[in-house]
Amino acid sequence: MSRGPAPTPSYLQLLKGNPSKRPLNDREPRPAKGAVSPPGWLVELDVPVPEIASLKTAELRDLARRLDIARASRMKRGDLVQAIVDSSEGDRLRFWGRLQEQLVKMGVMTEADGTALALLCDNLATYIECRRVLIADGLTYDFTTKAGVEMPVQRPEVGIGNAALTNAMRLMDRFGLNPAYRTKLKVEAEREADGLDALRARGSNAAG
């Protein structure tokens, strides 16, 4: 049995003018706002250098030079691997940087949102990866049945990409990044005051 849609956070209800007029949760947890570092698993997924730990030290130094890493020739192997990881950035970390900057400006990014944002970035990157495959190889491939009949079959990247995009759109809704959802928000041009109390005060003034 479906539980229905997830409850809307209080700050988003206030930005929408609390159209339901239901009492808001005064004890809702309020994590500190601001930017956070991406979780380690997202960084590991995003490093566009396959199996760097298995490379020989000379190969690592050559790769480090191509990444313009300073003092690579003097680094120990462990430091060299870490420097390569830190200097590598793929779609996931690019999405992380761009989206987090937007969310911080919107005033909705908190220290508790890192995992949700990482999942959003991972799904967006997965969708892009699937699109690259489909653009290069086409939506279908030829499959030969046991009877020897050739027939076009949809590539698995179609379904994988669509599922990732669906997940990403749901997560974007939760952050207020859906354009249709954002039109319902009533955001002031300047935010001199911060936090739920300031939003509640603006809602009270509008009601008065």
Per-residue pLDDT tens, the chain, 208 aa: give them.
456 566 666 655 555 566 666 666 566 667 888 899 888 888 878 865 556 767 888 888 888 887 788 888 888 888 888 787 777 778 999 899 999 999 999 888 999 999 999 999 999 999 999 999 999 999 999 999 999 999 999 999 999 999 999 999 999 998 989 877 666 655 433 443 445 555 555 555 555 5
Rounded CA separation 126/179 (Å): 22
**How far, in whole angstroms, is CA 51 from its chain's centroid?**
24
Q: Which of 181, 158, 161 is nearest to 171 (CA)?
A: 181
Residue with tokens 């970390």: 93
Q: Enumerate the domain spans of the chain.
A: 91-182
Give the integer Cα–Cα distance in Å for 59 and 93.
24
Evaluate whether 119 touches 171 at the Cβ level (below 8 Å).
yes
CA distance 60 to 161: 33
